[in-house]
RNA sequence: CGGGAUGUGGCCCAGCUUGGUAGGGCACUGCGUUCGGGACGCAGGAGUCGCGCGUUCAAAUCGCGCCAUCCCGACCA
């Protein structure tokens, strides 16, 4: 396309309301514009990148045997009441009325719609398995949209749903999608990692998130470099330590000590001149209205998801001051397990501790020399803390590392959550009615594009990997008023069009510097610079955006050179 | 929902403390010069200063209320 005819408004300055790199660059490169909080328009350049990604996704999904559908975004209240989510989904679900005063919502996800579709038209095991997907706009009324298209309210998503006869078949569907996702992100040229993730209230043994590695990512992941273990930080397990033998002879007598105004671990450790590792933190949680005490070593953090999952609570939060007062008889900051009348859950980190410090359930007092078995009863020892770098891998005992990432995909076993409540049944060989087993598989479209930028940029702008690049090549004649230069540029542009190489022809009457800056900003992988000096020798220059490398080459044969450069960057074969 | 910040031509910002005819840079239009890393000169167009109420002879500026946007937190099938 001729640059002079494009709608490609680039911006020199950083927009004041964009904080993260991908957001800044997408606006500056003329890819997106904000309409209102969390809602963005894609301009031609941005939309081309979206389409590149969608094409890769379609190819891999189709290859994996999935079929594309397109489901409605406006969905009636009845479906959501059937699944139970009209009540449970909360405020993220945008609800509204039509002219007949009937209630609807904008689809934040499509389990309900797909299940209602499939249950009506799939009746027998002969029609299973099926995997249906779509690329569609979702709306989730996020509390706090941020980071541009990374966490926004209206966004594109590829969502797929599998239907199987039993768990074993569902497992196969899951594995196919897992493989397809690996292929998709690999083909996009992204550095990513599938990690084990919490499967939340839906159940199922596990799910996997696909994380694009980026320091600016919202998620943290734990991984082991020795074995293949990788998990979302909130899911990552801590192995049960081997229990040391504790000699009761070592137990010192319990001692109550005055600790005025020392509430936090830090304050207590300074006051008592002990290290946080010698203190046991007691946190009171409110699990569906019931109080629980959670004990953990002072220098660790509690993983609330683990606590919630262990208890099996549907709602878990730190107890209010009133609840703390009621169960400990003291204000916040002095809770301890001794003489407390609620279940005490103990993290593995405390298992080997002796003569430790805890709160005394009395304002301004702590206990010294507390010991498990003598001073309080334990309901359970289990894994309740957040993994820290250097902890040992739960699979191979090597120490784990922590990195940040952006969640761009999630593969999930749904089991019968929706097929049961929404009655998606089929008849098996014996004529028995059975419940379909479902899986769901999502990829955030805009988020993947943003993640691609977070991973590929420099101080001049975006550096597109070839598979996502909106155009492969940009032709830059340095002076449009020199006829020889422009003729050569026009001829090259024609030749590229004929071979199907996607090119921008920067025919604008701008100074070379402006064109170079724009080309760098929008991140086109290869720039062909045509200038009078080189041209008089029959040469033109290829500038590689990624490496900054300049290649001088003869104008004859340059089309073939470009073709092979592009093809090698687009290679889809898997290692 | 709690905490913080910001709202002034399309974009980035100054002006507000101490009230007195709205300013710069970028972008845009025209003319001329320039032409391989965001050129220069001259001339121009473009703003209900987020909205409302109040104080005042007079409000971008002071007061009150509201709204919007961004950041931190809480939340996130």
CA pair distance A132, A439, nearest whole angstrom? 11
Residue-averaged pLDDT of chain A: 92
CA pair distance A55, A62, nearest whole angstrom? 11
Residue identified by tokens 């957001």 is A23
Cβ proximity of A165 and A35 under 8 Å: no
Q: How far is the CA of A35 from the C1' of B20 (A)?
A: 38
The DSSP symbol for A209 reads E
Burial annotation A351-382 (CB, 10 A radius, 16+ → b, else e): bebbebbbbbbbbbbbbbbbbbeebbeeeebb
Nearest nucleotide to A142 (CA to C1') is B76
CA pair distance A545, A465, nearest whole angstrom? 10
Query: What backbone phi and psi angles, to 5 degrees, belong to A200?
Result: 60, -150
Asked whether the predicted pLDDT for residue A574 surpasses 60, the reply is no
Sorted by sequence, the CB contacts under 8 Å of residue A389 that are 6+ apart come out as A399, A400, A401, A402
Residue identified by tokens 């299973």 is A128
Q: How far is the CA of A509 from the C1' of B42 (A)?
A: 21
When pLDDT is averaged across residues A281-293 and rounded to a whole number, the result is 88
CA pair distance A410, A196, nearest whole angstrom? 10
Q: Which nucleotides of B are covered by protein (CB under 7 A)?
A: 1, 6, 11-13, 25-27, 34-39, 68-77
Asked whether the predicted pLDDT for residue A419 surpasses 50, the reply is yes
pLDDT at position A203 is 52
Q: How many CA atoms lie within 13 A of A87 on its CB side?
A: 4
Q: How many CA atoms lie within 13 A of A19 on its CB side?
A: 7
Closest residue (CA to C1') to nucleotide B13 in the complex: A16
Q: How far is the CA of A16 from the C1' of B60 (A)?
A: 20
CA pair distance A93, A365, nearest whole angstrom? 47
CA pair distance A263, A260, nearest whole angstrom? 8
When pLDDT is averaged across residues A480-496 and rounded to a whole number, the result is 96
Cβ proximity of A84 and A111 under 8 Å: no
Nearest nucleotide to A219 (CA to C1') is B76
Q: How far is the CA of A340 from the C1' of B61 (A)?
A: 61
Asked whether the predicted pLDDT for residue A573 surpasses 70, the reply is no
Ranges A144-148, A167-171, A330-334: which has the least confidence: A330-334
Query: Would you state the structure tokens that stand for residue A215, as one six-digit string?
Result: 């320091």
When pLDDT is averaged across residues A18-38 and rounded to a whole number, the result is 93
pLDDT at position A280 is 93
Q: What is the pLDDT of residues A338-389, one digit of tens each?
A: 999 899 999 999 988 999 999 999 889 999 999 998 999 898 899 999 898 8
CATH class of A3-237+402-453: alpha beta
Cβ proximity of A316 and A286 under 8 Å: yes
Beta strands in A13-61 (DSSP E): 32-36, 39-42
Q: How confident is the model at residue A228 (pLDDT cuts 50, 70, 90)?
A: confident
CATH class of A471-570: alpha beta
- The helix/strand/coil state of A324 is helix
When pLDDT is averaged across residues A389-415 and rounded to a whole number, the result is 90
Ranges A149-158, A259-268, A362-371, A544-553: which has the least confidence: A259-268
Looking at domain A248-382, its CATH architecture is Alpha-Beta Complex (3.90)
CA pair distance A324, A328, nearest whole angstrom? 6
pLDDT at position A572 is 61
Domain ranges across chain A: 3-237+402-453, 248-382, 471-570
Q: How far is the CA of A508 from the C1' of B53 (A)?
A: 52
Closest residue (CA to C1') to nucleotide B34 in the complex: A511
pLDDT at position A215 is 86
CA pair distance A451, A448, nearest whole angstrom? 5
pLDDT at position A204 is 58
pLDDT at position A575 is 45
Query: What backbone phi and psi angles, to 5 degrees, belong to A517?
Result: -60, -45
Q: What is the pLDDT of residues A88-105, one digit of tens each?
A: 888 889 999 999 999 999
Asked whether the predicted pLDDT for residue A530 surpasses 50, the reply is yes
Q: What is the pLDDT of residues A187-197, one digit of tens each?
A: 999 999 999 98
When pLDDT is averaged across residues A38-42 and rounded to a whole number, the result is 93
Nearest nucleotide to A85 (CA to C1') is B77
Asked whether the predicted pLDDT for residue A425 surpasses 50, the reply is yes
Q: How far is the CA of A560 from the C1' of B36 (A)?
A: 25
Same fold for the domain at A248-382 and the one at A471-570?
no
Residue identified by tokens 């064109």 is A515
CA pair distance A253, A355, nearest whole angstrom? 9
CA pair distance A448, A446, nearest whole angstrom? 5
Q: How far is the CA of A14 from the C1' of B10 (A)?
A: 14
């Amino acid at each position: 396309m001729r640059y002079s005819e494009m709608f490609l408004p680039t911006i020199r300055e950083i927009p004041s309301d964009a904080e993260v790199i991908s957001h800044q660059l997408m606006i500056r490169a003329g890819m997106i514009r904000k309409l209102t909080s969390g809602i963005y328009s894609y301009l031609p350049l941005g939309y081309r990148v979206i389409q590149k990604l969608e094409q890769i996704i379609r190819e891999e999904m189709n290859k994996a045997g999935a079929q594309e559908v397109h489901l409605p975004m406006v969905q009636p209240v009845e479906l959501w009441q059937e699944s139970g989510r009209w009540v449970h989904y909360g405020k993220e679900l945008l609800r509204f009325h039509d002219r007949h005063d009937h209630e609807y919502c904008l689809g934040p996800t499509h389990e309900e719609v797909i299940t209602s579709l499939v249950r009506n038209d799939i009746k027998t095991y002969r029609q299973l398995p099926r995997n249906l997907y779509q690329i569609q706009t979702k709306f989730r009324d996020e509390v706090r949209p941020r980071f541009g298209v990374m966490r926004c309210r209206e966004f594109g998503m590829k969502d797929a749903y599998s239907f199987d006869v039993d768990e074993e078949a569902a497992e196969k569907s899951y594995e196919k999608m897992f493989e397809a996702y690996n292929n998709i992100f690999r083909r996009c040229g992204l550095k990513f990692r599938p990690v084990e993730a919490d499967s939340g209230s839906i159940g199922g043994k596990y799910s996997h998130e696909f994380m694009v590695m980026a320091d600016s990512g919202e998620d943290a992941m734990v991984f082991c470099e020795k074995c293949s273990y990788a998990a979302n930080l909130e899911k990552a397990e801590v192995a049960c330590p081997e229990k040391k033998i504790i000699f009761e002879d070592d137990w010192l007598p319990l001692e109550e000590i005055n600790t005025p105004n020392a509430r936090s671990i830090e304050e207590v450790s300074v006051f008592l001149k002990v290290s946080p590792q010698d203190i046991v933190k007691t946190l009171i949680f409110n699990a569906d209205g019931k109080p629980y005490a959670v004990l953990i070593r002072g220098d660790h953090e509690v993983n609330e998801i683990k606590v919630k999952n262990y208890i099996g609570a549907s709602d878990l939060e730190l107890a209010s001051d009133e609840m703390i007062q009621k169960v400990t008889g003291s204000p916040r900051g002095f809770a301890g397990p001794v003489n407390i009348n609620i279940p005490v859950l103990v993290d593995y980190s405390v298992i080997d501790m002796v003569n430790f410090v805890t709160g005394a359930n009395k304002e301004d007092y702590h206990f010294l020399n507390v010991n498990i078995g003598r001073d309080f009863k334990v309901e359970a020892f289990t894994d309740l803390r957040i993994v820290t770098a250097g902890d040992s891998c739960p699979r191979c005992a090597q120490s784990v590392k922590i990195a940040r990432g952006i969640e761009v995909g999630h593969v999930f076993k749904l089991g019968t959550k929706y097929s049961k409540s929404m009655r998606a049944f089929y008849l098996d060989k014996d004529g028995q009615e059975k419940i379909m087993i479902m899986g769901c598989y999502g990829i955030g479209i805009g988020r993947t594009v943003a993640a691609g930028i977070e991973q590929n940029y420099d101080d001049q702008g975006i550096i597109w990997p070839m598979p996502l690049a909106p155009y492969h090549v940009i032709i830059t004649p340095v002076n449009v008023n020199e006829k020889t230069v422009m003729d050569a540029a026009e001829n090259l542009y024609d030749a590229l069009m004929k071979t199907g190489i996607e090119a921008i022809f920067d025919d604008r009457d701008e100074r070379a510097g402006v064109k170079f800056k724009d080309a760098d900003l929008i991140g086109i992988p290869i720039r062909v610079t045509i200038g009078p000096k080189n041209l008089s020798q029959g040469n033109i220059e290829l500038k590689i955006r990624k490496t900054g490398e300049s290649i001088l080459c003869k104008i004859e044969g340059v089309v073939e050179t470009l073709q092979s450069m592009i093809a090698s960057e687009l290679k889809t074969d898997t290692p």
